[in-house]
Structure 1
């Protein structure tokens, strides 16, 4: 182990035995015993959620460009142009909105902001206007604030969202290295492109590239498992699109821990690229999977967590009296792995509920069950001087397992309000978190171990 440390950190006692160049290089280490340890990451991949990794973003913030990732016209060699592009990106990452941090997604090298923009409502989902000018303003505000993740899905707003985002990115002409685009391959037995066959996956990726007008997609996620398709075919197809350069990484959405482990096992068996992220629901009233199972998956196989919720995706009203029913009626607590389903059938039911006032009896019972807790949390948010949504965002990001939380916004005011919630994170100290735990009284715990001998 000591030899491993020596390979990256050096040793002041042995520096004099090396060449003069090595001695000069390690001189600063000999003078200062508190030489920073993060350089050990030369020998191993960084842990995803360490905020100390922010020091790797240090660098010049001047040079050509506007500080937002746009490289200005620079006369000179290609090396000079590249240097100015890197400097502009570093300047943008050094001056994000308060509370924005950058973390590795899973145990990969991909750096993402701790909040991303879920574009379902932005491009005309429930509560969205569908206006492209408004959507462009929201995306520009997110980018200028330091958000570098834009999440899409063919299930949310059809193919229109990818087409509109492609036009916006083309007009803005941002440096491609400064943002991350994620999209999903959606499995639904009622659509024309059924299943998750190799044919469907490859065709979906190629179609998304055309709509987005991009040369590659950063992350493609498989939305729900196809029980009729072998897992080997799915992982081999994802490995193929990555090897072709169309996709950089792949992940899953609304998969159970067992399904994720099965995919990982198949990837190792057939020498395929493993998934790096699971996109799952996480909020004050749904905690079991993100808090019990996702940290275990991260530590064992390196799968990170990109979280979304009915609050942060922009599904709630700005008024407190409407927010409780709107938020709680969007969730179903019957399935511990998928309490809210992003499917075409269920999104249609949301429109029916809004338009015709239709409600299910079970939904009303659930709303009554959680309404008291919601009112108490809302009262606590009022005492803190924030909204319920802002408190929910800050509370979710207190969980170190959440490497990226997707926010939703139909306009720039909603996005700005959500981003302000990041400043509440330092205020959620131990006593405040204990108060929230007392109100919720829903901290998940693993069932006790049962001996197989006792069952006989």
Structure 2
């Protein structure tokens, strides 16, 4: 269940940041979506800003022919989608225009979850929340959520929504979260657990680092995200320091003992966290989707969870001040 809402989501969620419309062609994207459906994945995550709308269009085309009621589609609004002053943020104007554009690209009458991609300090929170609520009343949005908001921002939104008596309160938060990046644990997670807000986390594999495919002192393997064209190498390059890669390799015996791949171990670890409703995976090949989807339902023993913590040690970042800053990393993480 997504928090304390009535919406069911798949534990493993298929997302298309940096893939559809960028590093993966339409044929491969369609195959990945088909593999996700075959594996029992029902929840699909995207955003208006991914590939400047192309990711939504590719996902919509790939899902065409699938019974709409059998899947949950989530998308987002806030980050710049154009050069104009109103092509960004959470103003009523941009929220409405972006939602309608997303619906057209996705080829659907409604989205199951509409999320504020970041907090917008320029727009009154009341304006944003009422705009979201109006979309719910119009039937274009079923549930609303946020992404990479701090605990204070989420708490403020809950307070304002209560004062305004809005139809639909926030039921989801989408933060970055994985074995290495745990900055939501001190503040965001406790608040969301208390308020019934489910976490749909992204980068459970730390952009592939936790799969173990990258090794200390070695060039990125061919076909990997770090060796790809486009923006992907810039993002993953921040976490390819030998200190991280060496420690990740020490997780391999733990995965082997559990009968899991490194990727399955990392996803299952994320799903073991109380309050996490689902983990978003990306893929360039259908086989990756099939492998990673099997992490759903895996339960890790307390001894294994403790061994993971001991292995990663002080490389884990739990600094709550870095919430909402997905580009912040510990110095020892970087290859620079």
What's the counterpart of residue 329 of structure 2? none
What's the counterpart of residue 61 of structure 2? 167
Instruction: State the shift of 1:444 in Å.
Output: 7.8
Counterpart selection for 2:162 from 249, 252, 268: 268
What's the counterpart of residue 292 of structure 2? 418
TM-score using structure 2 length = 0.82
Q: What SS does the aligned partner of 2:35 have? A: helix
What's the counterpart of residue 71 of structure 2? 179
Counterpart selection for 2:5 from 95, 108, 115: 108
Larger Rg: 1
Residue 400 of structure 1 pairs with residue 274 of structure 2: yes
What's the counterpart of residue 323 of structure 2? none
What's the counterpart of residue 9 of structure 1? none
What's the counterpart of residue 373 of structure 1? 247
| Structure 1 residues 348 and 397: alpha-carbon distance in aligned structure 2, compared to 1, 3 A threshold | same
**Residues 217 and 242 of structure 2 are in contact (CA less than 8 Å); yes or no, is this contact kept in structure 1?**
no
What's the counterpart of residue 451 of structure 1? none
Instruction: State the shift of 1:371 in Å.
Output: 3.2
Alpha-carbon distance in structure 2 between the residues aligned to 1:323 and 1:389: 21
Residue 279 of structure 1 pairs with residue 174 of structure 2: yes
What's the counterpart of residue 124 of structure 2? 230
The higher relative CO (CA closer than 8 Å, separation ≥ 6) is in: 2
| Structure 1 residues 156 and 324: alpha-carbon distance in aligned structure 2, compared to 1, 3 A threshold | farther
Alpha-carbon distance in structure 1 between the residues aligned to 2:95 and 2:319: 36
Unmatched segments (≥5 aa) in structure 1: 1-103, 331-346, 448-456
Instruction: State the shift of 1:390 in Å.
Output: 1.9
| Structure 1 residues 315 and 383: alpha-carbon distance in aligned structure 2, compared to 1, 3 A threshold | closer
Instruction: State the shift of 1:186 in Å.
Output: 2.7
What's the counterpart of residue 307 of structure 2? 435
TM-score using structure 1 length = 0.61
What's the counterpart of residue 41 of structure 1? none
Q: What SS does the aligned partner of 2:186 have? A: helix
| Two-structure CA RMSD over aligned residues (Å) | 3.1
Instruction: State the shift of 1:207 in Å.
Output: 0.9
Matches within 5 A, 1:200-219: 200-219=94-113
Q: After superposition, what is the alpha-carbon deviation per residue over 1:230-275, rounded to whole angstroms, capped at 9, x for unaligned?
A: 1111101111111111111110011111111111111111111211
Unmatched segments (≥5 aa) in structure 2: 321-336
| Structure 1 residues 377 and 316: alpha-carbon distance in aligned structure 2, compared to 1, 3 A threshold | closer
Alpha-carbon distance in structure 1 between the residues aligned to 2:312 and 2:235: 27
Q: Could you tell which deviates more after superposition, 262-271 or 370-379? A: 370-379
Name whichever structure is richer in helix by fraction. Answer: 1
Matches within 5 A, 1:287-326: 287-289=182-184, 291-309=185-203, 311=205, 319-321=213-215
Q: What SS does the aligned partner of 2:29 have? A: helix
Alpha-carbon distance in structure 2 between the residues aligned to 1:244 and 1:213: 17
Alpha-carbon distance in structure 2 between the residues aligned to 1:417 and 1:410: 13
Matches within 5 A, 1:23-422: 104-125=1-22, 128-130=23-25, 132-170=26-64, 172=65, 174-188=66-80, 191-192=83-84, 193-272=87-166, 273-289=168-184, 291-309=185-203, 311=205, 319-321=213-215, 350-351=232-233, 363=238, 367-422=241-296
**Residues 197 and 233 of structure 1 are in contact (CA less than 8 Å); yes or no, is this contact kept in structure 2?**
yes
**Residues 79 and 88 of structure 2 are in contact (CA less than 8 Å); yes or no, is this contact kept in structure 1?**
yes
| Structure 1 residues 429 and 315: alpha-carbon distance in aligned structure 2, compared to 1, 3 A threshold | closer
Q: Could you tell which deviates more after superposition, 372-381 or 138-147? A: 372-381
Alpha-carbon distance in structure 2 between the residues aligned to 1:445 and 1:122: 28
Instruction: State the shift of 1:182 in Å.
Output: 0.3
Q: What SS does the aligned partner of 2:279 have? A: strand
| Structure 1 residues 228 and 348: alpha-carbon distance in aligned structure 2, compared to 1, 3 A threshold | farther
What's the counterpart of residue 334 of structure 2? none
**Residues 103 and 111 of structure 2 are in contact (CA less than 8 Å); yes or no, is this contact kept in structure 1?**
yes
**Residues 210 and 266 of structure 2 are in contact (CA less than 8 Å); yes or no, is this contact kept in structure 1?**
no
Q: What SS does the aligned partner of 1:260 have? A: helix
**Residues 313 and 409 of structure 1 are in contact (CA less than 8 Å); yes or no, is this contact kept in structure 2?**
no
